[in-house]
Amino acid sequence: MNWTFLIPIAVGISGILQGGFNRNMSNQLGLAQALLLGNILVLFYSVILYFAAAKFPESLPDMFRLKAPLATFKWWYIFPSLFGLIIITGIPLGISKIGAVKVTVLIVVAQMVTSILWDVFVDKLPINAMKGLGLLFSLIAVACTLYS
Same domain, 104 and 56: no
**CA–CA separation, 68 vs 74, rounded Å?**
12
SS3 per residue for the chain: CCCCCHHHHHHHHHHHHHHHHHHHHHHHHCHHHHHHHHHHHHHHHHHHHHHHHHHCHHHCCHHHCCCCCHHHCCHHHHHHHHHHHHHHHHHHHHHHHHCHHHHHHHHHHHHHHHHHHHHHHCCCCCCCHHHHHHHHHHHHHHHHHHCC
Say what the pTM is: 0.80
Do 6 and 54 have their domain in common?
Answer: yes
Q: For residues 50 and 120, state if they share a domain.
A: no
Please indicate, yes or no, whether residues 17 and 67 belong to a single structural domain of this protein: yes
- Same-domain status, 77 and 109: no
Could you list the residue range(s) of the whole structural domain that residue 74 is in?
Answer: 1-98
User: By percentage, how much of the chain surpasses pLDDT 70?
Assistant: 100
Mean pLDDT of the chain: 92
136 and 91 within one domain: no
> What is the tally of structural domains in the chain?
2
Do 91 and 103 fall within a single domain?
Answer: no
Regarding whether 135 and 119 lie in a shared domain, the answer is: yes
Helical packing angle, 31-55 and 6-29, nearest 10°: 140
The pLDDT of residue 28 is: 96
CA distance 60 to 140: 41
Q: Are residues 87 and 114 located together in one domain of the fold?
A: no
Statement to judge: residues 38 and 92 lie in one domain: yes
pLDDT digits over 66-112, tens only? 998 888 999 999 999 999 999 999 999 999 999 999 999 999 899 99
- Residues 25, 38 contacting (CB under 8 angstroms): yes
Q: How far apart are CA 72 and CA 144, in angstroms?
A: 47
Looking at the fold, whether 18 and 36 belong to one and the same domain comes out as yes
| 73 and 50 belong to one structural domain | yes
